[in-house]
Amino acid sequence: MRRRALLGALPFAAAAQEPLATPFDLPARNDALRPLGGLELHRRAIGFGGFSGLYLAPDLALTVISDRGAWFTAPLLMQGEKPIGLGTLRQGLLRDAQGVPLRRGHLADAEALVRRPDGSWLVAFEGLHRIRAYRDLDAPAAAFDAPPGLENAPSNGGLESLALLADGRLLAITERMGESGSVQAWTGGPGAWVPRFYRTTPGFAPTDATGLPDGGALVLERRFSLLEGGFNCRLVHVPRAALAGGGEITGAPMLNLPPDAPAENWEGVAVLPRGREWWIALISDDNENLLQRSVFALYAWAVA
């Protein structure tokens, strides 16, 4: 799932003549989930790809991390409720504890992003499996106790999913570590991690998660098969009751991608409470591959 602290050192100078994003329509639905629209994000203009986690702020500022160890934040440009582009970018590199930018590869494989109530961030990494805390995304990393046993995850099968739940607990789910039909997960936090299992949709693996205001969660899952058309992804709703206690975590699909959105490598999900709706944002990882795209999709879920 698979850079400049100073301007001259970054490998992602944006191409000013190219738009950062272009809008497109999402297929209509006849239920409580209302498609607002999508954006194709242009890697050359942004300067990098590999988008693997995101956060959508109440002011509609979008923050995205890359599995190349980079990040950007930009306001969503809206026409009514339809996203039509990105505003001015601010971007940088994730850093180690000494403030040195992470080099691409094993150390920089950032896969999940969490915004904490105090405005700081948590980032989950694969490769060298760990969670790091950041006062700001351009600040030095601080240690954060990862779930016990995470070090035993496969190199490319660690924490793709990290979410802050409404009750203050974290939900952490590995991509490929566990038993047949389920993967290793934990709820809790430092000093209080509770081992769990997350029941996957057959053939799928989790790629991200986000907490819901009612105490539940959404989990994004992915499957790739050349024989079955490439990427297929699902967004799964996990109710609050499934996250209580210490049993297996289960949910039910609410989006299928495709047909509800393009067939891409969907890797990030975020939720924003907005009036009587929850806005659901999704982002895909292009792996910096010419045959793939970076795509953003936005939905409104009527919950009241």
Average pLDDT over residues 260-277: 95
| pLDDT of the residue at 290 | 87
Q: Which CATH architecture has domain 7-302?
A: 6 Propeller (2.120)
Task: Give the pLDDT confidence of 56-91 residue by residue, as tens digits.
Answer: 999 999 999 999 999 999 999 999 999 999 999 999
Interatomic CA distance for residues 111 and 161, integer angstroms: 7
Q: Residue 109: exposed, middle, or buried by beta-carbon count in 10 A (0-12, 13-18, 19+)?
A: buried
Structure tokens at 233: 């992804």
Cβ pair 296, 86 in contact under 8 A: no
Average pLDDT over residues 244-267: 94
Task: Give the pLDDT confidence of 215-231 residue by residue, as tens digits.
Answer: 999 999 999 877 667 89
- What one-letter code names the amino acid at 157? G
With cut-offs at 50, 70 and 90, classify the pLDDT of residue 8.
very low
Task: Give the pLDDT confidence of 18-67 residue by residue, as tens digits.
Answer: 899 999 999 999 899 999 999 999 999 999 999 999 999 999 999 999 99
Question: Strands (DSSP E) along 42-145, which ranges?
Answer: 51-56, 61-66, 70-79, 82-86, 90-93, 110-115, 121-125, 130-134, 141-144
Helix (H) or strand (E) holding 117: none
Structure tokens at 76: 């969503």
Interatomic CA distance for residues 78 and 70, integer angstroms: 25
pLDDT at 273 over 60: yes
Averaged pLDDT of the chain: 92
Average pLDDT over residues 248-268: 95
pLDDT at 261 over 90: yes
Interatomic CA distance for residues 39 and 227, integer angstroms: 28
Q: Is the pTM of this model over 0.85?
A: yes
Q: Residue 230: exposed, middle, or buried by beta-carbon count in 10 A (0-12, 13-18, 19+)?
A: middle
